[in-house]
A and B are shown apart, each in its own frame.
Chain A
Amino acid sequence: MTWHSFLNFSTMEHRHLLAAYATVLIVQGGYFFWVLRGWMRSKNTRK
């Protein structure tokens, strides 16, 4: 498989593969940035 076929939206199997991988990155990334935001804010309040 190549980047071209990974980012291919013309078939359902490729759309679903991309959607699944994007879902993982969005959920994990979203949680990470939510924790990071809390960390930065908690640091500021203690200064």
Chain B
Amino acid sequence: MQKWLLIVGLTYLGILIFLSWYSQRKVQSKEDFIMAGSKLGLILGFMTFSATLFSAFTLMGMPDFSRVHGVGSWMFLAFSDAGMVFLILWFGYTLRKRVANVEFKGMSHLLQEIYGLKWAGYIYFLAVFIFLVPYVAIQIRGVAVFLELGFEDLQVPAWLWSLGIVGFVLLYSSAGGLKAIVYADFVQGTSLLIVVWLIGFACLENLGGWSNMFSQLEAKNVALLSAPGPKGLLTSPFLIASFMAIMMIPVTQPQLSTRLVIMKDIKAMNKMAVAVGFFAMLVIFPTLIIGFYGAINYPDASASDFIGHALIKDQAPILGALAVIGLFAAAMSTADSQLFALGNELRGLLSNKMGESLLPIRLAVLGFAASALLFSLFSSDQLVLLARVSFAGTALTGPLIILGLVTSKPQGSFMVWTTTLGIIAFLMAQATIIPLKIGGLGIDLCLFLILALAAVGNYWVRKDK
């Protein structure tokens, strides 16, 4: 397999280096570097959005999640993604309308302008930093640990694999800016889709076909065929909370809200939303098949052991090599966008003079990458559940953002401070200082509902002022 890995890997890296060089040549202004020229058409737009959205979490996490929790995994991710793309129609339009005549310097800066309060931007930035850096880290770690296990004979430790991933991301994103990331996303999204289907088909063939897969699954554990699944996790409250958190991703996560702003026009953005919805279905479906393959063949294996077998050891050498590169691609496509978006958010918070230079954004991306790398050394391997915490944490800024965007009247500081308290409560719950559940509902859903109600109340109180 190592021969194939070398061929596929070098081809992939060669394409990325070429795209980085190509986009560097095309970058003629600060706008080109930070916002990729703000003229993305349908194809590039939907591929960069999809590749950023679907990460190592999809290729490694989702098969393992469906192996353990069964068919309800579709509802957890694919259905939530469909809700998310519907929200894009309204949110994308509202956001673009708000920033139509001003330079978009990130959500932090926009919130400062809307609320007339510096802290509004700081709390948003803190939230995305606290929840996105670990998210980037768990993906890097997930892929690195997998590579370490898969290539034991190479004697390369996980931290060195992590360093390689981060180093490469930094190389092309600092050279070509967002344009390089968008082009790379196109390649990475395509690789992810092809790889996940090839492996899905191989797993299906191994199980003796579609019908056999379901009959074997039923014989193995009938609870896998309905929600809430064998462990009872996928209950309505859990799935509703996940739905809200995932639906809020384009609102609250800067790497995706930026992609809504840089679309060429509303028409392209709306079509992009539909395309992302179909892409989500196409990517998630085979991950379920891989998961079912694991539920039948490796029901008691550890997550990394199962993924190692399903994606590499049980596959033909060329397919295994493609899976490794697919994982690299998936981890990089999300990590690059998130690190770059964090850099841009920080730029928006800096003084006008400092924000004009590209140096702060480059240094910030480097700093965030170092933080993610450091965090990746200590994070756990529960990809999906950690990702969900990240989504739920950033979702708490959703009511603050939406309230700010829907009204042109000053909204005071109430929501800014309430959101701050909400995030503190969420963090305390994660540290088990306060309960994770209140009256049968998860703390994430409770806090989100409280903040949403607070935003509605704030709006009505200030409506006539």
Instruction: Say if A and B assemble together.
Output: no
Q: Which residues of B contact A (CB under 8 A)?
A: none
Q: Which residues of A contact B (CB under 8 A)?
A: none
